[in-house]
Amino acid sequence: MQNAFNTLDLGVFLFYIIGVSAYGYYVYRSKQKAQMSTKDYFLAEGSLTWWAIGASMIASNISAEQFIGMSGNGFQVGVAVAAYEWVAAIVLIIVAVFFMPIYLKQKIYTMPQFLEQRYNSALSLIMSIFWLFLYVLVNLTSILYLGALAISSLVGGGEAFHLIMVALAVFALLITLGGMKVVGYTDVIQVTVLIIGGLATTYLALKLVSEKFGLGHDAIAGFNAMMKDAGNHFHMIFPKPTAATPQVDINKYLMVPGIAMYAAGQWIVNLNYWGCNQYITQRALGADLKTARTGILFAGMLKLIMPVIVMLPGIAAYVLHKNGSLQPQMSPGGVFNSDNAYSAILTFLPNGLKGLSLAALTAAIVASLAGKVNSISTIFTLDIYKRYLKPESDEKQLVWVGRLTVFAAMVLAILLTWKDLLGIGGEGGFTYIQKYTGFISPGIVAVFLLGLFWKRTTAPAAIAGILSGFILSVFFNNYAPTVLGHETILYTAFPNGKGGYEIPFLICMGLSFAFTFVLMVVMSLAGPAINPKAIPVEPGQFKVAPSTLALIVITLLLIMALYVKFW
């Protein structure tokens, strides 16, 4: 950083570390039983309150890839990337109203367990193994790598990368070994620090813009100046490119393809992440329906403000750089590296706020690591070890297996990340995550939607759906423009500036989902009218309480207002 950390910064950061550790230990000791059960350890025994559930979901969701990746996307394309957050708020309503009643009524602990109940053990085992590989080799490693990279950049010591990586892993381990209860309640502190630190950084960024344009120290004036100076960064919907469209605008459309993405992959991304993902749903699976719904809707409301924290600093960095006030963080070619937008803003923080910003970033990283490794432990222990390796295990043994799995997963992630054996740095962490999770999302969403809400769906159709979703995703992303051409009734492929043509990633996901969905329906029509494993839906099962309905209406009205403002 331009200005090194001082004693005040270190004091603020240590206060955060000691506070979270002390509170986690307090939660562990005050709620500890003589013998912890699997429900205690993996699902917090249903003791998480609605605000703990919502805060934990957001703390686990927001990590270095959001701070670095989404801020960088804000630098490149602007407010359009907020679609990922605002559509997520709508999807969380869908999950709260329609998914959770079924999960809780069926007493689901894990997503593989749901697949076994609804389909068969073969599909459950396949997906258990897949999710373990995905969580360890993609999510856990990328969070660890990006987190260490971001913090080492922030404190001005790239040589400390490996030490920081180990420190993050150890901190996350200490929290996770106490079980979901400790993870959930410490996440309340983590998300509080994250929001306060993130808002402070955004406020400073807007003040910097205001000062640049001679408007004093007024953050509101800075925001208005940003909208005037970078008006193209404050539109949610990009028009479809034509032959005359500059490559820079085509690249924006490839990232967020205008209104077309709202009929395609934007929903697939979010339904997979928020409704079919052990990492997220685990927070609510141990609660009663009202608490789970309220917590999920609370998370949805928090999602509305996340772009302010992780996107606006990127747009501010764009405006400052455009006007000659942001010179550091250049790539070797002399072009500003958008992934460094957030850390470039942080170089202007005054003493004290640097420590708070470091605490906010650390909170986001540690909460995500703890949540992810807890999910890895849950799936391995309950869906593989207990079912296939040692069915006779008692509760005490399973809890210890869960803890050992937490440790083993983190050690493996450190080894893979130590010399970046997976090439995360070469692809960029955000791109790395989207690339490998996006290939399987269409199949997973089709399998879950049809399994939850269509009684005729069969197990062979589900297995075919998982496989076809992956194959079609690879085909549309990598081969369709060459095989089928650049312009078809299904899609338009655009030049990517690298000598080739690409279909926007979110459009590829929508196409893969549509074909997978149709294939599963056709295959299931050859089976019985009602599958023996179909989930019964009772009258009134999806009815919501008046207070829940009020939260839903408020969320939708806020989203509507945001889209009207920035369309």
Mean pLDDT confidence for 213-217: 82
- Locate all alpha helices (DSSP H) within 139-277, ordered by sequence: 141-154, 161-176, 180-212, 219-229, 247-255, 265-275
Give the class (CATH, top level) of 7-22+38-416.
mainly alpha
pLDDT interval class at 461 (50, 70, 90): very high
Q: How far is 557 from 565, CA to CA, in rounded Å? A: 12
Q: Which of 278-287, 292-301, 332-341 has the highest mean pLDDT?
A: 292-301
Single-letter amino acid code for the residue at 253: Y
Contacts of 204 (CB under 8 A, 6+ apart): 345, 348, 349, 350, 353
Instruction: Quick: pLDDT tens for 101-143.
Output: 999 888 887 888 889 999 998 898 888 888 888 888 888 888 8
Q: Which burial class, exposed, middle or buried, applies to 119 when counting CB atoms under 10 A from its CB (0-12, 13-18, 19+)?
A: buried
What pLDDT score was predicted for residue 367?
77
Q: At what angle do helices 141-154 and 395-418 cross, to 10 degrees?
A: 60
For the chain, the C-alpha Rg in angstroms (whole number) is 23
The residue-averaged pLDDT of 363-369 equals: 79
Q: Can you tell me whether residue 556 is helix, strand or coil?
A: helix
Q: Is the separation of the CB atoms in 151 and 1 below 8 Å?
A: no
Write out pLDDT tens, residues 286-320.
788 899 999 999 999 999 988 888 889 889 988 88
pLDDT of residue 476: 93
Q: What is the mean pLDDT of residues 388-415?
A: 87
pLDDT on residue 47: 62
Main-chain dihedrals φ then ψ at residue 379, nearest 5 degrees:
-65, -45
Who wins on pLDDT, 285 or 332?
A: 285
pLDDT at 31: 58
pLDDT at position 331 is: 46
Q: Is the pLDDT of residue 379 over 90?
A: no
Query: Any idea what the Cα angle at residue 292 is, between residues 289 and 298, rounded to 5°?
Result: 140
Q: What percent of the chain has pLDDT over 70?
A: 88
Q: Is residue 469's pLDDT more than 90?
A: yes
Whether residue 334 has pLDDT greater than 60: no
CA–CA separation, 118 and 512 (whole Å): 23
Whether residue 180 is predicted with pLDDT greater than 80 in this model: the reply is no
Q: What is the pLDDT of residues 6-56, one digit of tens each?
A: 788 888 888 888 887 787 777 777 655 545 555 555 555 556 788 888 887
Alpha carbons 562 and 567: distance in angstroms, whole number: 8
pLDDT number for residue 191: 77
Which has the higher per-residue pLDDT, 445 or 78?
A: 445
Burial of residue 33 (CB within 10 Å: 0-12, 13-18, 19+) is: exposed
Residue with tokens 């605008």: 249
- CA dihedral defined by 369, 372, 375, 380, rounded to 10 degrees? -90
In the chain, what is the straight-line distance between the N-terminal and C-terminal CA atoms, in Å? Answer: 36
**C-beta separation of 40 from 33 below 8 A:** yes
pLDDT at 377 over 70: yes
The predicted-structure confidence for 527-541, as pLDDT tens digits, reads as follows: 888 888 888 888 788
- Among the listed residues 347, 306, 310, 350, the one whose alpha carbon sits nearest the alpha carbon of residue 12: 350
Interval 517-521 mean pLDDT: 97
Rounded CA-CA distance 99/108 in Å is 11
Segment 534-554 mean pLDDT: 89
Domain with CATH 1.20.1730.10 in the chain: 7-22+38-416
Distances (CA, A) of 43 to 48, 296, 328, 400: 9, 15, 45, 15
Is the pLDDT assigned to residue 442 strictly greater than 80?
yes
Among the residue ranges 37-46, 77-86, 150-159, the one predicted with the least confidence is: 37-46
Separation between Cα atoms, residue 278 and residue 372, nearest integer Å: 9
What is the residue type of 244?
Answer: A
Given a cut of 60, whether residue 428 has pLDDT beyond it is no
pLDDT tens-place string over residues 83-106 = 889 999 999 999 999 999 999 888
Residue pair 76/420 in contact by the 8 Å Cβ criterion: no
Mean pLDDT calculated for residue range 511-535:
92
Torsion of CA 103, 383, 364, 303, to 10 degrees: -20
Mean pLDDT over the full length of the chain = 83
Strands 501-502 and 494-495: antiparallel
3-state secondary structure of 398: helix
